[in-house]
Structure 1
């Protein structure tokens, strides 16, 4: 850290960057400033000056507020707290929800142009829930420090801060979340599945099976397994995937694929569209999730769930027989990778067998933009594209795009 750390400066952020940080300039240098909104004037405290090209800062006072600024939905993350004590996980909580979505759309549009070479504007769609963007999280992870303090991490830190409220969480999660000191564990997960009571996972426990309902369908999974955290996200994404699929290119008897398939949510969405004759292989690295996927997809006789790392599994596509290659060439491929994206190696292996269409579900705009550019170079054009506000009051945004062969 240099001599400027702790110095307070006036800044006028001009745009938003990926990660929910506003971008300002100070004497020609870029400053990434938290808790500010583009277009307003703030006083910010320098927190990192190690880079010549840019510094980092936290807003401490607002001199000229944006018309989109509102009281923070989470008091423990508001400007009234010292930046070091502000709870992380609600970095857009001081921004009116419609403008949050505009900023997220700007980030996705900019990422597609900068990292994918694609010109596309998109609107970020809201999900059902309170207008202020609260009460959507069905899963919350709290941390426990060496002194037994329970709470979230402070923003951009691994320091635990105590909180009296969890406004992004659904009521059942907030009610069950521990507030008193704990010992002997590092984490406490609180979750409220759609079926059954809310529960705690204290430290490392043997997983228990839970059930989640999506429309008329029920999914079985482990309580410590992956599931979308917004209460409306599973239905929203299932519907978005069905809408993204071009029905004229959907062949139920092709060698359809669901990669990074989890417990089968999106494979089932495709099954609802394709009917009982669907042939699909779901690939997931988590063996327990694969076991649940096999059960969740049992109604489709042609569905298989395989355990494997997708980047390794797709290499085997090159060894497919002529008959299987023909089926792969007619396939619909669903991709729902982790935040880092699928990456060039996975996409190249998939494109080599020439599937009819690829439906890509992305939780990171930069990774998605990069991968969209890779697919474009491999002969797959981005057609339909939608974005969803699955994480209100945060910078995160979900995108669903369809790619088809040129």
Structure 2
């Protein structure tokens, strides 16, 4: 067998792009070796510069020119990320910015389906059934009209320690890139961003644009762990309902994401109610609950008699959740790590365990997913339904495989394009105990 020609960082090679991979990169092969290529589109032939070589396993490369162009290629929405710049000087955070929005969503759907096949153990037929016919990543209101721009209500910028330059990081590095604009940011953030200023005594700059409050700038000073003003409360409006959240706390970044996920979870709970699968008096849970957004969605669907405990490790967010859910008589906000709270429930009294078996659990874990430990605990508690909000398709797929092994059936699946011009998206999966 002929050994492939050795590759070295800096080599330029021509590649036929054959597919999309998780993480916002495309896939090609060079003499049998897999190459993950940035800034390309499946179906294109490109010239790419090698940026990393992992012995014989794979290499990474960045497109420097397009030989055969896809019909879905567009001028990049961010000039500082365009092919005209050297790969190491391209800003990160908009890795799909050169692709038409409809194709972006199709690629994301491919990534989700591939993850469910490879890591979740589902067949194409099973995926089609749970997706209601065909798996799609749904657009949210306003994005097509705005070409997916101006949606971010939270932006973090970094400060170059040597120059004081303020800007985002380059793709796959911690080099601060000077930019003239933030095309994905909300207008108030775009106007207030200190892109032309030097801030030598600052480490990070967080800009937030709450939907029902004034915009804020939070700065981290050298040697400090907390950002000035991060515990100030700001108001967010979601479908006419107001939520108070910490300025530096977690909140969905897309202007339409809170309402999109609120509505999706509410509708999923409505469906469970209609099917007779939801018990308002059970020990229902909202895990990784943040400021109580999804617990409120449960309450809107299930009614005022709902009993639900929202669990969150951040004390500030728990305080916010307690206030946001104060009208819900059966609501309780608990500060705890999810795994530790579930461990206590596993050891609970038989009456508690029975209420849990009748329960519905909503969870919105971090990008790494709930993980085997938490999913195993859920399997031991055996709630009737699990409504899983996921921001990483591979993590969702792995947890799906575990849940299926523990006796759950994936009943429905939706996905939402809450991060246009990036490879990220959100999914909502509903599981029933068999």
TM-score, length basis structure 1: 0.98
In the superposition, relative to structure 1, how do residues 294 and 144 fare at CA in structure 2: closer, same or farther (>3 Å)?
same
1:14/1:22 contact within 8 Å kept: yes
User: Which 5+ residue runs of structure 2 have no aligned equivalent?
Assistant: 1-5, 129-134, 221-226
Post-superposition Cα deviations, 1:119-160, rounded to whole Å, max 9, x if no partner, equal: 214110001124221111011000001110110000011000
Distance in 1 between residues matched to 2:411 and 2:316, nearest whole Å: 34
The answer to whether residue 418 in structure 2 is matched with residue 390 in structure 1 is yes
The answer to whether residue 168 in structure 2 is matched with residue 140 in structure 1 is no
The answer to whether residue 222 in structure 2 is matched with residue 205 in structure 1 is no
Distance in 2 between residues matched to 1:100 and 1:124, nearest whole Å: 9
Q: 2:331 aligns with which of 279, 290, 303?
A: 303
Residue in structure 2 matched with residue 238 of structure 1 by the alignment: 262
User: Which 5+ residue runs of structure 1 have no aligned equivalent?
Assistant: none
Post-superposition Cα deviations, 1:226-250, rounded to whole Å, max 9, x if no partner, equal: 0000000000001111222211211
1:105/1:124 contact within 8 Å kept: yes
Distance in 1 between residues matched to 2:55 and 2:400, nearest whole Å: 30
Post-superposition Cα deviations, 1:303-323, rounded to whole Å, max 9, x if no partner, equal: 111111111111111122222
Distance in 2 between residues matched to 1:87 and 1:239, nearest whole Å: 34
**Deviation at 1:3?**
6.5
Residue in structure 1 matched with residue 186 of structure 2 by the alignment: 170
**1:213-362 matches, cutoff 5 A:** 213-245=237-269, 246-247=272-273, 248-362=276-390
SS of the counterpart of 1:44?
strand
Residue in structure 2 matched with residue 152 of structure 1 by the alignment: 168
Tell me which moved more, 92-101 or 4-13. 4-13
**Deviation at 1:13?**
1.0
Post-superposition Cα deviations, 1:380-406, rounded to whole Å, max 9, x if no partner, equal: 110110000010000001100100011
1:317/1:349 contact within 8 Å kept: no
Post-superposition Cα deviations, 1:333-391, rounded to whole Å, max 9, x if no partner, equal: 00100000001111111121221100000000000000000000000110110000010
Q: 1:10 aligns with which of 7, 14, 24?
A: 14
Q: 1:375 aligns with which of 403, 410, 414?
A: 403
Post-superposition Cα deviations, 1:31-79, rounded to whole Å, max 9, x if no partner, equal: 1110000100000000112331101101000111111101111111111
Residue in structure 1 matched with residue 24 of structure 2 by the alignment: 20
Residue in structure 2 matched with residue 182 of structure 1 by the alignment: 199
The answer to whether residue 139 in structure 2 is matched with residue 126 in structure 1 is yes
Distance in 2 between residues matched to 1:237 and 1:326, nearest whole Å: 29
**Deviation at 1:194?**
0.7
Tell me which moved more, 309-318 or 384-393. 309-318
1:129/1:136 contact within 8 Å kept: no
Distance in 1 between residues matched to 2:64 and 2:334, nearest whole Å: 51
Post-superposition Cα deviations, 1:190-238, rounded to whole Å, max 9, x if no partner, equal: 1100112211111121421101010121111110000000000000001
Tell me which moved more, 243-252 or 395-404. 243-252
Post-superposition Cα deviations, 1:95-128, rounded to whole Å, max 9, x if no partner, equal: 0000000000000000001001012141100011
**1:62-141 matches, cutoff 5 A:** 62-119=66-123, 120-121=127-128, 122-131=135-144, 132-141=147-156
2:267/2:301 contact within 8 Å kept: no
The answer to whether residue 217 in structure 2 is matched with residue 194 in structure 1 is no
